[in-house]
Amino acid sequence: MEKIRISAVRYANTYPFIWGLRESGFDKKVLIETDHPAQCALKMISGQADIGSIPVAALLQLKKYDIIGKYCIGASGKVRTVMLFSNCPFEEVRTVNLDYRSRSSVNLSKVLARHMWKREFKWRDTSESFDFVNPGKDEAVVLIGDQCFESESRFKYGVDLAFEWNRYTGLPFVFAVWAANRSFDNKFRDEFNEALKLGVENLHRVAVDFAGISVIQEHELETYLRKNIDYPLDDKKIEGMNLFLKLLAEV
């Protein structure tokens, strides 16, 4: 029988899930690939993956989906890894360069611009060859993932998009959820969620094991996983997610 295909985000915020899937032995039953968020979305949309930690904004592009995970990539305040960086004050920004690796973060910046900041920017798509750390004098970049830790010291100004969302709505923001584009029985779903839970409940061990391959050092990695990422997909996060999708439809 062909193994179930899982596409997981390759960034540090997903390390606990990867760790839990491996340590529980669940990874022996499935085929796990790690991708940047936009690739996760494309694999789910095209049917190249059966389950993915899919950016919330991409849910609208799936013909059908089932959120099977009880955990998510969420933030109830500052997330640190979804940022709007610039070398000019925010009020002087005219053009925003959008990280090609993201969907939810790119769309979050557009939702905030329209509904909270009341700003009209020139939005510019990017590619892998784009120089994210040297934008023009009146330009900003939306940058996601571990690159934020590498690049934050190279910019004079930074706006944390999750913090801005929370300030505007009073709700957490959900960047990605575990969704399936096919049906799975309760036994599989329970085992899958137990594996995710194992990682979320062992963040110190996750930080130790992944410190060697991450751009983030062990102590800072554990702090990030504990303080900046909020994993349980609870009612408040679902409320925030639904509000974001509503506002996104208007944009």
Q: Same domain, yes or no, for 115 and 138?
A: yes
Q: Is residue 241 part of a domain?
A: no
Q: Same domain, yes or no, for 65 and 178?
A: yes
Q: What is the DSSP annotation of 162-175?
A: HHHHHHHHSS-EEE
Q: Is residue 251 part of a domain?
A: no
Structural domain boundaries enclosing 227: 4-75+174-232
DSSP collapsed to 3 states, 35-102: ECHHHHHHHHHHCCCCEEEEEHHHHHHCCCCEEEEEEEEEECCCCCCEEEEECCCHHHCCEEEECCCC
Q: Same domain, yes or no, for 93 and 142?
A: yes
Q: Is residue 93 part of a domain?
A: yes
Nearest CA to 139 out of 147, 131, 148, 151 is that of 131
Q: Is residue 130 part of a domain?
A: yes
Cα–Cα distances in Å, from 8 out to 52, 136, 140, 243, 246?
Answer: 6, 33, 28, 24, 25
Grouping H, G, I as helix, E, B as strand and the rest as coil, residue 144 is strand
Q: Same domain, yes or no, for 53 and 162?
A: no
Q: CATH number, domain at 130?
A: 3.40.190.10
User: How far is Cα 181 from Cα 172, in angstroms, rounded to an integer?
Assistant: 25
Print pLDDT tens along the chain (251 aa).
589 999 999 999 999 999 999 999 999 999 999 999 889 999 999 999 999 999 999 998 998 999 999 999 999 999 999 999 999 999 999 999 999 988 889 999 999 999 999 999 999 999 989 998 889 999 999 999 888 998 889 999 999 999 999 999 999 999 999 999 999 999 999 999 999 999 999 999 999 999 878 778 899 999 999 999 999 999 999 999 999 999 998 87
Grouping H, G, I as helix, E, B as strand and the rest as coil, residue 9 is strand
